[in-house]
Amino acid sequence: MATTTAAEPTRRDFIYIATGAAAAVGGALAAWPFIDQMNPSSAVLALASIEVDIASIQPGQSVTFKWRGHPLFVRRRTPKEIAEANGVALSDLKDPLARNANLAEDAPATDRNRSTKPEWLVLVGVCTHLGCTPTVSTPQVPQGEYGGWLCHCHGSQYDTAGRIRKGPAPENLAVPPYSFLSATRLKVG
């Protein structure tokens, strides 16, 4: 009404706002189950760790396992490959972080921080660009310029410590949580 002068909130205003707020919160609460059902189910989460036998892997060889639906690279590096990775200055790296789930988040990407035992490089084989599986480089069939891996999808190149050196990928290949159960058995996840 044009003649109403009350600047004070009325009881009716209060009821409008309270009803609106209750509807908004109720709506959000009701929507959540419909959204959260898409997240990984407990059955998927339960399968999150595996054990692998690495006894037969020869120096210079890289073997692919499957972990959490992803490829898992286990590479037994040669002394030359380790030396190459060690020779890289941190300032030459695109991603300065170790991305090693076994270390602190801010650990630097030195070669030492990329593996538990330098001879064994354990990586999630998922290109950090858009998720393709990179191809391993060997002295016989080199892939890219850095002796590690080349992702054919959009040309990302990784070195012998799995660190991103060139191409669109933003991060080093991830090091999953893992531990040695014995000299030849590895638990991942």
Active site (catalytic) residues: 154
Count of residues of this chain found to bind ligand FES when the rule CB under 6 A is applied: 13
User: In terms of CB distance, is 144 or 147 closer to ligand FES?
Assistant: 144
- Return the residues of window 115-134 that contact ligand FES according to CB under 6 A: 127, 129-132
Residue 44 interface partner, choices another protein, ligand FES, none, CB cut-off 5-8 Å depending on type: another protein
Question: What's the Cα-to-Cα distance from 107 to each of 122, 123, 162, 174, rounded to whole Å?
Answer: 17, 16, 15, 13
Window 131 to 170, contacts with ligand FES (CB under 6 A): 131-132, 151, 153-156, 167-169
Binding partner of residue 100 among another protein, ligand FES, none, CB cut-off 5 to 8 Å per kind: none
Helix intervals (H) in 37-182:
42-46, 79-86
Q: How far apart are CA 54 and CA 188, in angstroms?
A: 12
Euclidean distance between CA atoms 113 and 140, whole angstroms: 28
**Which ranges constitute the DSSP H helices of 9-118?**
11-36, 42-46, 79-86
The residues of the shown chain that bind ligand FES, judged by CB under 6 A, are 127, 129-132, 151, 153-156, 167-169
